[in-house]
Amino acid sequence: MKQVIVFGSLNMDLTIRCERMPQQGETVEGSNFLNNPGGKGGNQAVAAAKFGAPTKMIACVGQDVFGRKLLEVLQGYRVDCGEIKVSETGQTGVAIITCHEGDNRIILSPGTNHELKTADVKEVLSRIAAPGDIFMTQYECEQNTVLASLEYAKELHMYTIFNPAPAKIIPEKYYPFIDLLVVNQTEAEYQTGIFPQEEESCRQAIESMQRMGAKQVIITLGSRGSIFNSGESLYSVPAERVEVVDTTAAGDTFIGVLAACLSEGRELEESVRYATKAAALTIMRYGAQQAIPYRDEVVQI
Ligand code: RIB
């Protein structure tokens, strides 16, 4: 089994539920306040580790109460935290999340997530990565570092998975360093100008990202599942029908479990099926890392 190495963000999520979103200048009463570990990078690492993949995280937290808690929780899920830097001066990333009718809105303070630079990530990868290992990253860390780390991971003959979230453009010259690009509809539109909805627009968006150099592309379509290419053909995997409690970390679960399955040598289609089931379990629960299921739960449904 190959290892999964995640370079990404760690945030403390401060989540609160409300019956309706406040208007500008208005206060509404909420409920179910939750202070829970999140961050796209951390969530993806936890999803891979809970599914059983040997998982290492490259990240940075502050020397504060949130940073300590994030490390403790990650270690509890067996994510190797040996390469996580603790900044002496910066503040740990924080996400303020409001949940309303199962969906969420997030405001992010990246804090120490922006501290790692290209040289830091390269130095770690040069020591710990082996050819064929999976490298996975997102856009919550410093953009140039993320892009340069993809390029370097490819130089080391790793298999690269990129989730450009929150949505920001990927400069075209970096596409050839992406083995598997995983985007939701908004992120796909950002990259291509096409909002993928039905099969034809999905095909056009996928082909556009492939022409720029991404080897394989998955578009996640929320409650409609996902669509991806394998060679010339398109495949769809429908979402599981479940009761939505909170969608936070559903996309991260999908990507983390996908990486774990690929690290076991599974085909993409089978990996997407497991990832879809895992994401369904996550949205049935409240919170981020705590909502992500273990392997046993995923294989049972
Ligand atoms: O993808 C969900 C994550 O996005 C949350 O855990 C939050 O930290 C934000 O980064």
Instruction: Give residue 179's pLDDT.
Output: 97
Ligand 1 centre and the CA of 199: distance in Å?
Answer: 29
The pLDDT tens digits for 240-250 are 999 999 999 99
Give the global pTM. Answer: 0.96
Of all protein residues, whose CA lies closest to atom 8 belonging to ligand 1?
Answer: 39
Instruction: Give residue 148's pLDDT.
Output: 98
For the chain (301 residues), the mean pLDDT of every run of 10, in chain order, is: 96 94 93 95 98 98 98 98 97 95 89 98 98 98 98 98 97 98 97 96 97 97 94 91 93 98 96 97 95 96 83
Instruction: Give residue 151's pLDDT.
Output: 98
Q: Which residues are catalytic?
A: 252
Query: Candidates 43, 46, 98, 103: which one to mutate for ligand 1, based on the most atoms within 8 Å of Cβ?
Result: 43
**3-state SS record for the chain:** CCCEEEECCCEEEEEEEECCCCCCCCCCCEEEEEEEEECHHHHHHHHHHHCCCCEEEEEEEECCHHHHHHHHHHHHCCEECCCEEEECCCCCEEEEEEEECCEEEEEEECHHHHCCCHHHHHHHHHHHCCCCCEEEEECCCCHHHHHHHHHHHHHCCCEEEEECCCCCCCCHHHHHHCCEEEEEHHHHHHHHCCCCCCHHHHHHHHHHHHHHCCCEEEEECHHHCEEEEECCEEEEECCCCCCCCCCCCHHHHHHHHHHHHHHCCCCHHHHHHHHHHHHHHHHCCCCCHHHCCCHHHHHHC
Ligand 1 centre and the CA of 231: distance in Å?
Answer: 32
Ligand 1 centre and the CA of 97: distance in Å?
Answer: 8
pLDDT over 70 for what percent of the chain?
100
Domains of the chain are 4-9+40-92+112-299 (3.40.1190.20)
